[in-house]
């Protein structure tokens, strides 16, 4: 019985990990919030984010895409001035088209118009 219970708990834990859902708000998606510093974003997945454009004199936004807990995310980074010579790299936008994302009201990508209208 203990073996069965252990296997059931293991299956439940791995199943919930694979089906991770994140809430989309005006501040970001799940743990990724707008205006987070690059170092804060890197701590969440435990990966270094390599930038190309923001390190140049005439910089543009840097866009990085990768999966976090089986959900594809696109991050857009920008430079935010601290003073005339210094800046921080911040998260300007976070995007995903995963159907596992949901609004606080429960609406997800792919929901039909009737559900959206009835929820609002």
Tell me the per-residue pLDDT of 29-78, one tens digit each, with 9 for 90 and over: 999 999 999 999 999 999 888 888 766 666 778 889 988 998 999 999 99
Contacts of 72 (CB under 8 A, 6+ apart): 65, 66, 96, 97, 98
Q: Which residue has the higher pLDDT, 13 or 106?
A: 106
Rounded CA separation 30/24 (Å): 6
The rounded mean pLDDT for the chain is 78
* Lookup: tokens for 114: 């009737």
Q: What is the pTM of this model?
A: 0.72
- Residue 23 and residue 104 in contact, taking contact as beta carbons nearer than 8 Å: yes
Q: What percent of the chain has pLDDT over 90?
A: 29
Contact (Cβ atoms closer than 8 angstroms) between residue 111 and residue 105: no
């Amino acid at each position: 019985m203990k073996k069965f219970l252990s296997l059931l708990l293991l299956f439940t834990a791995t199943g919930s990990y694979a089906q991770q859902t994140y809430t989309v708000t005006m501040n970001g998606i799940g743990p990724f919030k707008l205006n987070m510093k690059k170092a804060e974003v890197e701590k969440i997945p435990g990966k270094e984010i390599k930038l190309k454009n923001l390190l140049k004199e005439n910089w543009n936004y840097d866009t990085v895409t990768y999966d976090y807990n089986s959900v594809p995310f696109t991050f857009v980074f920008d430079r935010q001035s601290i003073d005339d010579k210094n800046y921080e790299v911040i998260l300007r936008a976070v995007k995903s088209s995963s159907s596992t994302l949901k609004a606080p009201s429960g609406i997800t990508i792919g929901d039909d118009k009737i559900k959206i209208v009835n929820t609002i």
